[in-house]
Amino acid sequence: MRWPTTALLALTALRLALAAALPLTPDETYYFTWAKHLQPGYLDHPPMVALWIKLGTTLCGSTALGIRLLGPLAAALGSLALYDAGNRILPNRRFGLHAAAFLNATLMLGAGCVIMTPDTPLLFFWTLGVWALARLVQSGNPRWWLAAGGIAGLMLLSKYTALLFLAGAGLWALFSPAIRPQLRTPWPWLGIALAVLLFAPNIGWNAAHGWASYFKQGGRVDGFNPARAAQYFGELVGGQALLFTPLIAALAVRGLWHLRRDAAPGARLLLWLSLLPAAVFLEHVLTNRVEGNWVAILYPAACLAAAAAPPRWVRPALGLGFGLTALVYLQALAAPFPIPANRDTAALQMAGWQDFAAQAGASHPAFLTSDDYATASALAFYAPRTIPVLGFGRRWSYFDWPVAAPAGATGLLVTRRTDTPCQDEIGTIIRRRGDQQVMSYKLCRITAETPAKEFPRP
């Protein structure tokens, strides 16, 4: 294990360096504002991402590294957990190493652990949940249900899709002859009770706010349209082939297919934790798009299934995976490939925010605001500290931020939306990567008529 351990340490150091060097994305600045005023729930997600950012910024300050610190560290710890899980439920010890290597070679983890989103802690705790259930399978000790329940509670505090872990684990226990007798003991039920207890603060916050977060996340359904459903399905398959990287994706499908006839409880566990979420996402494409990051929860079990791949395919799959991830890192850092900035995902997310915010505040308005949460959050992080950034409207009412009452004050609305009414447009500002245009924004002079929430600043 000497060289794999050395490789993991080197990879973690590289990811920490990238986390420090790359500009923040607007979503990260949005979650940073959560961390400045912690609360049990938010309109979009539970609070775990804010807790992680709070811990990181306490250790490293309000910097890119502080905001992202726990991502690369969690990826390293999750890799060790997946390695141990594979050693316990797969027939060959090298398969645990293959599974951890495959997970690290996916673009989903490689790029995802360098930025901080709710999927970062979710994937970590999901991996720990797989590890806890693998320990349950290997030891037969039903007390591992307590560990799995506690981890599931932390999952739920990360993102609501963690419900699929509870459902998958429950169905696995119900239909697995070797595990079903444990349902007659108190341990699985105590595990569920622990998960609910940990998640209770978020339930209480939602109850006090009209169940806003649950309605928002549960309402992502449109009417069925066959043409759109076909488009969404194609996007899902194509996106996952890239995020999994093509060879690892193929080996995962192959591995899950071969597990279908394996009645061992470990094999059944991997199937339930892969196929149940996959079925939910396939049902969702009938009415709406499945975002690529949602599928991250399949990766730990799918990489364990892929670990039994023929040896001749392991190195090519890892080489292609790490190679594609390295190209993405390189493009995000230095943009050596001739991709137009307005079509480059890294540029669209990261490029030019500091200069953009300086332009927005150059005329020293009484306040800045935006009709887009991401733009408003980036302004709050990068704009001059002497200019307040305010949030008007329903979204911001769910935050325990100070209330500003700027009635009659004249500020600037910054918008990238062409359909936003702008009765007093005073110009445009351009966000750039070098000399290339990334995106154009309108500047609209507005007069405040209602109270607003004031964004916390670094």
Mean pLDDT of the 328-344 span:
94
Confidence band for 400, pLDDT divided at 50, 70 and 90: very high
17 falls within a domain: yes
Residue 93 has pLDDT above 80, yes or no: no
Q: What is the pLDDT of residues 267-293, one digit of tens each?
A: 999 999 999 999 999 999 998 889 999
Q: Domain range spanning residue 423?
A: 349-454
Q: What is the pLDDT of residues 73-82, one digit of tens each?
A: 999 999 999 9
318 and 211 part of one domain: yes
Give the integer Cα–Cα distance in Å for 249 and 448: 52
Residue 370 has pLDDT above 70, yes or no: yes
Q: What is the pLDDT of residues 225-248, one digit of tens each?
A: 788 889 999 999 999 999 999 999
Give the integer Cα–Cα distance in Å for 311 and 301: 19
Residue 388 has pLDDT above 80, yes or no: yes
Exposed e or buried b per residue across 227-244, where buried means at least 16 C-beta atoms within 10 angstroms of its C-beta: ebeeebeeebeebbeebb
Mean pLDDT of the 339-364 span:
94
**pLDDT over 70, % of the chain:** 99
Residue 421 has pLDDT above 90, yes or no: no
Q: What is the pLDDT of residue 225?
A: 77
Final residue before a domain boundary, out of 273, 300, 334: 334
288 and 380 part of one domain: no
Final residue before a domain boundary, out of 308, 334, 360: 334
188 and 305 part of one domain: yes
305 and 412 part of one domain: no
Q: What angle do CA 162, 67, 452 make, to 5 degrees?
A: 85
381 and 407 part of one domain: yes
Q: What is the pLDDT of residue 176?
A: 94
11 falls within a domain: yes
Torsion of CA 258, 263, 296, 119, to 10 degrees: -170
Q: What is the pLDDT of residue 368?
A: 96
Confidence band for 59, pLDDT divided at 50, 70 and 90: very high
Do 144 and 185 touch, CB atoms closer than 8 A? no
Specify the residue for token string 């990811």: 15
326 and 421 part of one domain: no
Q: What is the pLDDT of residue 396?
A: 94
358 falls within a domain: yes
Residue 22 has pLDDT above 90, yes or no: yes
Final residue before a domain boundary, out of 299, 334, 369: 334
Confidence band for 406, pLDDT divided at 50, 70 and 90: confident
Q: How far is CA 392 from CA 18, 356, 371, 376, in A?
A: 34, 21, 8, 10
391 falls within a domain: yes
Residue 328 has pLDDT above 80, yes or no: yes
Amino acid (1-letter code) at residue 34? W
344 falls within a domain: no
Confidence band for 220, pLDDT divided at 50, 70 and 90: low
Q: What is the pLDDT of residue 293?
A: 93
249 and 301 part of one domain: yes
Mean pLDDT of the 295-322 span:
95
330 and 360 part of one domain: no
Quote the number of domains for the chain: 2
Helix H, strand E, coil C: the string for the chain is CHHHHHHHHHHHHHHHHHHHHCCCCHHHHHHHHHHHCCCCCCCCCCCHHHHHHHHHHHHHCCCHHHHHCHHHHHHHHHHHHHHHHHHHHCCCHHHHHHHHHHHHHCHHHHHHCCCCCCHHHHHHHHHHHHHHHHHHHHHCCCCHHHHHHHHHHHHHCCCHHHHHHHHHHHHHHHHCCCCHHHHHCCHHHHHHHHHHHHHHHHHHHHHHCCCHHHHHHHCCCCCCCHHHHHHHHHHHHHHHHHHHCHHHHHHHHHHHHHHCCCCCHHHHHHHHHHHHHHHHHHHHCCCCCCCHHHHHHHHHHHHHHHCCCCHHHHHHHHHHHHHHHHHHHHHHHHCCCCCCHHHCHHHHHHCCHHHHHHHHCCCCCCCEEECCHHHHHHHHHHCCCCCCEEECCCHHHHCCCCEECCCCCEEEEEECCCCCCCCCEEEEEEEEECCEEEEEEEEEEEECCCCEEECCCC
Least confident of 33-47, 101-115, 220-234, 349-363: 220-234
357 and 270 part of one domain: no
User: What is the pTM for the complete model shown?
Assistant: 0.95
315 and 399 part of one domain: no
Residue 221 has pLDDT above 70, yes or no: no
Average model confidence (pLDDT) across the chain: 94
373 falls within a domain: yes
127 and 254 part of one domain: yes
Do 243 and 106 touch, CB atoms closer than 8 A? yes
372 falls within a domain: yes
Mean pLDDT of the 146-167 span:
97
319 and 354 part of one domain: no
339 falls within a domain: no
Q: What is the pLDDT of residue 222?
A: 67
Q: What is the pLDDT of residue 2?
A: 84
